[in-house]
């Protein structure tokens, strides 16, 4: 019996220990879970005072709703002023009256929307300048200041310095221009807590500002045309047309802002119109960029057409369209930012999409950059005969993607501009002269006097020919090979194109054949060629005649070797008639006709 009781008690004790262990384990797990919970987010301020923009917008909305007690919560007030409701209302009304009479707040979209405020200005950290008030006696800068430290959420309020300057301002008995001019019923009757008269004046001032700006633009253009003679030219008229509309829009905005501020229109109305004013300014600037793009494109294209650079026109059109797309894109982003749309995510997405597009269109971009390089450097033009790597042909067209060459076989070869810009281009059309470089191999039986005769007469021919460049030609006996005597000639032919140079070269070779035949020798035949013709022995008579001629040159000291006498060179210049007598000459036939 006692043994059974002991077993029961031991079992009960074991059960209690297990339950206690489970409880402790659950507590430990619970504490672990509690420590891993995400801390609560910073609570939002019910008045939206976490940023300078929220503070200004909340204050303007409160005074627009005539909730002056709520508006006072956007100001740094002393404990004494905060306890007195009447004092709080008086300060806010004074602030509103000063803003209506000569105050100016920055547009909402320009004020910082970050808890840190602006950090790119010269002010201390946690202080932002958001406007100013100009009175007859002083000027007041309007500051908002973060009242919390780093360990607490941001709380932006109009600074104590600003509130103190407002309280010290003396506005007793002062009324705005509209309060003095408008009938009482237009001031008493209100729309959205704003006097109806203020809304009417805004409409009237919009029309007046527009008409006055048009008048000013007309006067400025008229005076400019009278003073400057260039204003009447095509370029002057295009410039005036490009600037007229944007400048008129700017003048309208400036006049509207000046009129509404001087007349004392409610700051609530002006602050609501500030977004429209900035949007109009941005649109005016974009229109100016658009028109300047058209102006530059039009006159650049006309200049390229006059210079015959047709290939550059397509590039100019492409760049003009690309610039306009960029203008529209930048304008949309700027206007969305002014309205208050966060465009950061959109820009990031567009950046990623742009990278993907650039990678996918890598070859297209490469060809475009290549075409820009070709247009800028101009290594070739339409109509030029050139060689690109191992391809020879005449340039048919230079496009934005590729360039087409027409070969001698009348086929078209299309070369991508990216590849073309990286290739070696040899342009034959840019040659200022054509080299004439024949090499003659004379028979081994040629005598020394015959060689002297050949050297003198060949050089005399080059001096005398009118189409050979007026510089010292090179005619040299350069070597004796196993089967020939080698004479090398180097000179340059002056000709407007390749075809004419070929004609001159043909004439020179024919005349040189006459000189070789007259010398009594002949050109050597290659030894590896089996020459089956009956060999014609050298003419002994011509050889003797040439030897006699060289002998006379030596006796008279007239052998023009190794150099020519300058007097003899002057006598030889242009002494040859080219084309030769009996040749068809179209110029002479035209003269006869």
At 221-251, the pLDDT tens digits run 888 777 777 666 777 777 878 888 888 888 8
Residue 440 has pLDDT above 60, yes or no: yes
The single-letter DSSP state of residue 231 is G
Residue 49 has pLDDT above 60, yes or no: yes
- The stretch 90-103 carries a mean pLDDT of 82
Residue 438: band (very low, low, confident or very high) from pLDDT cuts 50, 70, 90: very high
Residue 42: band (very low, low, confident or very high) from pLDDT cuts 50, 70, 90: low
Q: Is pLDDT larger for residue 224 or for residue 9? A: 224
Rounded Cα–Cα distance for residues 82 and 73 (Å): 9
Q: Is pLDDT larger for residue 324 or for residue 315? A: 324
Rounded Cα–Cα distance for residues 314 and 397 (Å): 11
Residue 51 has pLDDT above 70, yes or no: yes
Which among 481, 462, 482 has a CA at the least distance from the CA of 472? 462
End-to-end CA distance of the chain: 158
Answer whether residue 47 is part of any domain.
no
- Interior CA angle at 376 toward 373 and 377, to 5°? 80
Answer whether residue 124 is part of any domain.
yes
Rounded Cα–Cα distance for residues 133 and 167 (Å): 13
Residue 196 has pLDDT above 90, yes or no: no
Tokens of 297: 């494109």
- The stretch 502-530 carries a mean pLDDT of 85
> Across the chain, what does the average pLDDT equal?
77
Helix (H, G, I), strand (E, B) or coil at 270: helix
Helix (H, G, I), strand (E, B) or coil at 439: strand
Answer whether residue 511 is part of any domain.
yes
Rounded Cα–Cα distance for residues 410 and 399 (Å): 20
Which domain CATH number covers 550? 3.30.70.100
Does 457 share its domain with 376?
no
Q: Which of 40-49, 382-391, 396-405 has the highest mean pLDDT?
A: 382-391
- pLDDT for 276-323, tens place per residue? 888 888 888 888 888 888 888 888 777 777 766 655 666 677 678 778
Report helix angle 310-339 to 267-307, nearest 10. Answer: 170
Rounded Cα–Cα distance for residues 74 and 165 (Å): 16
Rounded Cα–Cα distance for residues 336 and 253 (Å): 20
How many helices and strands in the chain, by DSSP H and E? 20, 15
Final residue belonging to a domain, choices 315, 346, 377: 346
Domain count, the chain: 4
Answer whether residue 371 is part of any domain.
yes
Does 440 share its domain with 584?
yes
Answer whether residue 20 is part of any domain.
no
- The stretch 332-343 carries a mean pLDDT of 74
- The stretch 528-549 carries a mean pLDDT of 73
Q: Looking up tokens 């959109």, which residue turns up?
A: 346
- pLDDT for 113-130, tens place per residue? 888 888 877 788 888 888
In this prediction, residue 1 carries a pLDDT of 39
User: What percentage of the chain reaches a pLDDT higher than 70?
Assistant: 77
Does 445 share its domain with 561?
yes
Does 205 share its domain with 281?
yes
Does 464 share its domain with 507?
yes
Residues of the domain holding 408: 362-430
Q: How far is CA 453 from CA 261, 471, 552, 561, 585, in A?
A: 103, 21, 12, 10, 32
Final residue belonging to a domain, choices 145, 174, 203: 174
Rounded Cα–Cα distance for residues 569 and 35 (Å): 108
Does 418 share its domain with 520?
no
- pLDDT for 452-502, tens place per residue? 999 999 999 999 998 898 778 899 999 998 889 999 999 999 888 888 889
Q: Region of 396 please: left (phi>0), alpha (psi -120 to 50) or beta.
A: alpha
Rounded Cα–Cα distance for residues 473 and 48 (Å): 93
Rounded Cα–Cα distance for residues 412 and 423 (Å): 18
Q: Which of 38-42, 58-62, 421-425, 540-544 has the highest mean pLDDT?
A: 58-62
Does 477 share its domain with 421?
no
Please report the DSSP string for 296-348 in residue order. Answer: HHHHHHHHHHHHT-HHHHHHHHHHHHHHHHHHHHHHHHHHHHHHT---HHHHH
Does 426 share its domain with 453?
no
Residue 274 has pLDDT above 90, yes or no: no
Answer whether residue 270 is part of any domain.
yes
**Long-range contacts for 472-478 (Cβ within 8 Å, ≥24 apart)?**
477/451
In this prediction, residue 506 carries a pLDDT of 92
Rounded Cα–Cα distance for residues 225 and 229 (Å): 7
Side-by-side strand order, sheet with 139-146: 103-105, 127-134, 139-146, 156-158
Does 438 share its domain with 583?
yes
In this prediction, residue 11 carries a pLDDT of 47
Handedness of CA 184, 188, 194, 197 (dihedral sign): negative
Final residue belonging to a domain, choices 381, 399, 430: 430
- pLDDT for 344-377, tens place per residue? 665 665 666 566 555 555 666 666 677 667 766 6
- Interior CA angle at 434 toward 526 and 371, to 5°? 120
Q: Is pLDDT larger for residue 433 or for residue 578? A: 433
Helix (H, G, I), strand (E, B) or coil at 250: helix
Rounded Cα–Cα distance for residues 555 and 140 (Å): 112
- pLDDT for 127-174, tens place per residue? 888 888 877 667 888 888 888 877 778 888 888 888 888 887 766 556
Neighbours of 166 (CB within 10 A): 22
- The stretch 528-536 carries a mean pLDDT of 59
Does 521 share its domain with 442?
yes
- pLDDT for 21-33, tens place per residue? 444 444 434 444 4
Neighbours of 377 (CB within 10 A): 10
122 close to 108: Cβ distance less than 8 angstroms? no
């Amino acid at each position: 019996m006692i043994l059974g009781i002991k077993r029961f008690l031991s079992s009960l004790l074991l059960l209690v220990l297990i339950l206690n262990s489970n409880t402790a384990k659950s507590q430990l797990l619970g504490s672990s879970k509690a420590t891993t919970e995400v801390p609560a987010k910073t609570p939002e301020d019910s008045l939206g005072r976490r940023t300078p923009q929220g503070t200004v917008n909340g204050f303007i909305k409160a005074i627009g709703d005539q909730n002056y007690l709520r508006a006072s919560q956007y100001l740094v007030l002393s404990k004494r002023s905060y306890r007195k409701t009447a004092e709080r209302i008086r300060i806010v009304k004074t602030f509103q009256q000063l803003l209506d009479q000569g105050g100016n707040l920055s547009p909402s979209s320009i004020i910082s929307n970050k808890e840190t405020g602006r950090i790119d200005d010269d002010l201390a950290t946690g202080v932002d300048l958001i406007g100013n008030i100009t009175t007859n006696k002083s000027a007041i800068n309007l500051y908002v200041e973060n009242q919390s430290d780093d360990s607490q959420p941001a709380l932006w309020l109009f600074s104590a310095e600003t509130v103190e300057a407002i309280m010290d301002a003396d506005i007793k008995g002062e009324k705005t221009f509209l309060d003095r001019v408008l009938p009482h019923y237009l001031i008493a009757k209100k729309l959205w807590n704003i006097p109806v008269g203020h809304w009417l004046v805004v409409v009237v001032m919009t029309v007046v500002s527009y008409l006055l700006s048009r008048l000013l633009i007309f006067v400025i253009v008229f005076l400019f045309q009278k003073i400057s003679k260039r204003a009447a030219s095509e370029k002057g008229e295009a410039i005036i047309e490009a600037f007229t509309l944007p400048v008129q829009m700017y003048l309208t905005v400036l006049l509207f802002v000046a009129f509404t501020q001087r007349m004392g229109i409610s700051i609530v109305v002006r602050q609501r119109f500030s977004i429209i004013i900035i949007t109009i300014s941005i649109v005016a600037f974009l229109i100016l960029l658009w028109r300047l793009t058209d102006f530059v494109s039009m006159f650049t294209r006309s200049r390229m057409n006059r210079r015959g650079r047709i290939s550059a026109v397509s590039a100019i059109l492409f760049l003009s369209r690309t610039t306009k797309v960029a203008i529209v894109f930048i304008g949309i982003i700027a206007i969305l930012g002014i309205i208050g749309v966060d465009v950061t995510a959109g820009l990031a997405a567009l950046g990623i999409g742009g990278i993907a597009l650039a990678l996918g269109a890598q070859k297209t971009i490469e060809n475009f950059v290549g075409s820009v390089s070709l247009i800028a450097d101009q290594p070739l033009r339409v109509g030029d005969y050139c060689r690109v790597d191992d391809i020879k042909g005449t340039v048919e067209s230079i496009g934005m993607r590729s360039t087409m060459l027409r070969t001698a076989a009348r086929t078209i070869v299309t070369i991508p501009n990216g590849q073309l810009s990286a290739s070696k281009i040899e342009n034959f059309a840019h040659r200022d002269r054509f080299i004439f470089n024949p090499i003659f191999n004379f028979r081994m039986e040629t005598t020394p006097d015959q060689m002297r005769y050949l050297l003198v007469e060949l050089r005399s021919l080059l001096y005398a020919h009118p189409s050979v460049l007026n510089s010292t030609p090179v005619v040299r006996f350069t070597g004796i090979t196993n089967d020939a005597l080698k004479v090398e000639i180097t000179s340059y032919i002056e000709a407007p194109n390749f075809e004419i140079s070929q004609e001159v070269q043909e004439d020179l070779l024919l005349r040189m054949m006459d000189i070789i035949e007259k010398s009594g020798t002949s050109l050597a035949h290659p030894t590896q060629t089996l020459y089956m013709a009956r060999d014609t022995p050298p003419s002994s008579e011509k050889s003797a005649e040439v030897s006699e001629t060289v002998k006379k040159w030596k006796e008279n000291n007239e052998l023009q070797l190794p150099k020519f006498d300058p007097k003899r060179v002057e006598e030889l210049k242009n002494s040859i008639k080219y084309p030769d007598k009996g040749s068809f000459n179209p110029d002479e036939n035209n003269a006869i006709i």
